[in-house]
Amino acid sequence: MKRYVLFVIALCVTAVYLFPLYWMYITAFKSAGEMFHFPPTFWPQHPQSHLWRVFSDSGMGNFLWNSFVTACGTVAVTVLLGTGAAYALAFVQNRWTSLAIFTVLVLQALPSSLMVTPIFTAFKSLGLLDTPRFAVVLAQITKTLPFYIVLCRPSFVQVPREMRDAALVDGASPMRAFFSVILPLAVNGILVSAILVFLQSFGEYVYARSLILDDRYQTATVGLAAFVGATRVDWIGIMTYSAIFVTPILVVFMLLQRRIVAGLTAGALK
């Protein structure tokens, strides 16, 4: 009986979370009149496809490409810098390790809206706003790097220290021991962390909106504002645009959900 009650509660909570997603998708196929009809319809009575109109008129293809390029750049730099940091925080034990972990957690807690003004001022002084994609990548790293380190560190923690020590005793250098012994055992956690960083960067709004001044380089999240005018809001366009934008993210998550869960729980039983 208890398991049945817990199942019902979990089902209700899931329905609450998924309903906005469901409503977005069905609204994308409604007419403007049906969208504001009362009582509301929970399935399009006369389905209409607005996908091509929204995709072509809004320039969404270019926006998605900009989001993809920015996300790939952010992932590359984050993984390159964060993997070594996560390894060091997992294997190096001294009085500074706890302070470093605390600092990483504090940086992760800082909201982008708080950091965007000093970042904008600094980048403008350095002339980085002339290269908007590079500027956004650097800005996003202030959030994604702590996030990646926190996620990736348990993957290194679960690697037995004895394996590293054995490699060093056999004559391997610390660098060789890292790449040949430790890194292959932590690769699953690294991949999962990189995927989550990509999804986070792909949907980032604050830095893209503030640092990119040329519409040619704007990301897909900012492109949504094109449907909001001074006197009119195209709700059908907003819902359709959102559906197109969210679908690839959902597909990636559904295909990799087991690997993501396994990576997030790495080190939990250590």
> What one-character DSSP code corresponds to residue 41?
P
Q: State residue 129 phi and psi, 5-degree precision.
A: -70, -15
Question: How far apart (Å, rounded) are the C-alpha atoms in residues 58 and 225?
Answer: 10
Question: How far apart (Å, rounded) are the C-alpha atoms in residues 28 and 47?
Answer: 9
Q: What pTM, to 2 d.p., does this model score?
A: 0.83
Domain regions of the chain by residue span = 54-242
54-242 has which fold?
A: MetI-like fold (1.10.3720)
Question: How far apart (Å, rounded) are the C-alpha atoms in residues 190 and 184?
Answer: 10
How many Cα atoms occupy the beta-carbon half-sphere of 162 within 13 Å?
1
Q: What is the pLDDT of residue 269?
A: 45
Per residue in 229-238, pLDDT (tens digit) is: 767 788 888 8
Please, which residues have CB within 8 angstroms of residue 48's CB and are 6 or more apart in sequence? 29, 30, 31
Burial pattern 80-99, b for ≥16 Cβ within 10 A else e, equals: eebbebbbebbbeeeeeeee
Per residue in 17-71, pLDDT (tens digit) is: 888 888 888 888 888 777 777 788 888 887 777 788 888 877 888 999 999 999 9
Please, which residues have CB within 8 angstroms of residue 247's CB and are 6 or more apart in sequence? none
Q: Minimal CA–CA distance to 223: which of 120, 70, 78?
A: 70
C-alpha distances (whole Å) from 185 to each of 67, 178, 181, 209 are 31, 10, 7, 39
Q: Which residue ranges in the chain fall short of pLDDT 70? A: 230, 261-270
Please, which residues have CB within 8 angstroms of residue 267's CB and are 6 or more apart in sequence? 153, 154, 155, 157, 158, 189
What is 71-105 written as a DSSP string? HHHHHHHHHHHHHHHHHHHHH--SHHHHHHHHHHH
Reported residue count of the chain is 270
Beta-bridged to residue 228, according to DSSP, are 233
Angle value at C-alpha 67, between 66 and 69, nearest 5 degrees: 65
